[in-house]
Structure 1
Amino acid sequence: MRITPTHALPVEIYRGVASQLIYDVVNEGTDPITISSVFPRKGEGSGRADPQTLAPGGKGRIILEYKFPEALGRDQVNFLVKAGAEKSNVGVIRIPYFVQAAYGPEFAVLDFGTMLPGQKLQTKLDFDTRLVNELKFTKVVSKPDWLDISFVSPESGSSQAVGVVATTNKLPEFGLNVGEVILESNVEEDSQLRIPVIVRAFSKYTVSPIPVSLGGVPEGQDSKVNLRVNRVGGGGVRIKKINSGSSALKIETSDCGNGCVDLDVMFDSMRARRGLRAVINVQFEDDEVDLQIPIDALVVPIGVKVTDLGDLDEVTVRSTTTILGEQ
């Protein structure tokens, strides 16, 4: 049984799209074969043979239906083709694919930065596409309830681009708030644009950076990170208690000026061999609102080679934020 594609490989597809792929199949044996089932090893999909039974030398088609994932980049899906009742009569269709974005920038985030009580923030980012002559967003499918969405002309003036404006309508919960805006567009190939949203809402004290990721840490090695706590408007930083959230974390404090304290965080990978996912909690004597700082790390076992794929944050396009005033 010989199976060949009728299309170019890798398959180029837009994320979240269900696609039909057709393969030619030839029975190169001396006996008839019946293709009993066709299915993917993972993911949402199905397959069928037409015709289901092939005489020696007979030709047919295998039609595959598969919903490709949302994650951008290259990967592969394998379909199993079973012919007859024998377990050995199994063929594999290997389909390399590349998921591309219908919109640019591919990696984007509406990042409000830091938000304090009483502030009203607005952030803006332009999105474009090459798939339609005039890009239109027809509906806001979903958004955080502390956010309003509007659309403006892009800085480029192109009809294939639209400026997305996000404006806060209230203060979200204190701490790190991560959400998503989903917009419906007139792009048939990928009708929904999903935009991550992030805001760090604080009370009397702020902390940076937040969240914290230590990345891959080789087993047996330590990793350090410095966090800076600032009191809004200056003055003394009155820390009451610090809970590291994990026995693998050790935290020391040091003054760094007026209204400023550094948290020197040390991670001991031998105490968290399965990795770290914790929240550092900082309590204050003069504020009922604690600082909640998510921190994570991947512990790489000894002997495992680590490949550096680069920093996604470096290629992520972030929105431009302005303070409109109080709300």
Structure 2
Amino acid sequence: MKLVFTQKPVGLAVFGLIFAGVVSLYTGVSDLDTGQIVRAFLYGGEHDFVVNHYRLPRLVLAMLVGTGLGLSGVLVQGVIRNPLASPDLMGISAGAGLAATSLLVIFPQAPLWALPVVAIVGGLLAAMMIYATAMLTKPTPARLALTGVAISAFLSSGIDFLLIVHPIEVNTAMVWLTGSLWGRNWQQFPLLFAAVCLLIPVAFWLAWRLDVLGSGELIARGLGVHVTQVQVLALIVSVVLASVSVSVAGTISFVGLLSPHLARLLVGSKHHILIPMAALIGAILVLVSDILARGLIPPTEFPAGVITSVIGAPYFIYLLSRYKGW
């Protein structure tokens, strides 16, 4: 039985995100007090770079990446009606990662705007591969998830091949592929912010349609929902959000899987509330992972993707164990 809290969980999630954001400003090699952080905000000065050009952009980007991945996960689960679906497990993140890695190692001087564009193309191609493969067999939830894992592994082998053929750029690519916000700054902000802000209203437009679709395609058509249009639009929005997030932070795993599940536990399955809750939880997961990544053993920094994998992999195994028919 699902556990649904009634004490304003969205408000608690917002408070948790604000609290994590404040902690993020204090976390790092430089030990700053509140006065130094406030003075850096107001006047710049000695700690201007650390606060305004290192910690603050990482904070903002972590929230936006987590929001994008959380929204992507809830949409792909809603349209496929598969609790095992997520952009990284379905191979979408790997497709975006392969395309972006190809650009990084083959055309290292490419303009910054080209990376998210190439990542989106890679994510869409990966989604098409999954769809074509699924049509060959009767897709059950676990089988579809395992198909995505297989395609993800295939695409990841392409990434490994690129790194072997182009060893000079291996360090830059590896930091990016493990999922990290290290070295990110305000340059990555505009496109990611625009994508998230433009696609959130689309996600809300899809909300009640996904609720109706969850009752079955025949019922949805009877209620006037254009099923194919909703499915295609939801998948495109999911792929774009995941791909743009991957283009900024690399392959941060399991956020798109965990966020919708935790959101359903807290607020139920109605998409009008599930969508903002999944976005908030995704933002919290990525931000907390980034805090732990740079705060556990400073000055050593772990990739944030390692932290999310440690949390998400056991949960994915638990979900697989619940499906006996695959």
Task: Tell me the TM-score normalized by structure 1.
Answer: 0.25
Task: Tell me the TM-score normalized by structure 2.
Answer: 0.25
Higher helix share: 2
Higher strand share: 1
Higher relative contact order (CA 8 A, sep 6+): 2
Q: Which structure has the larger Rg? A: 1
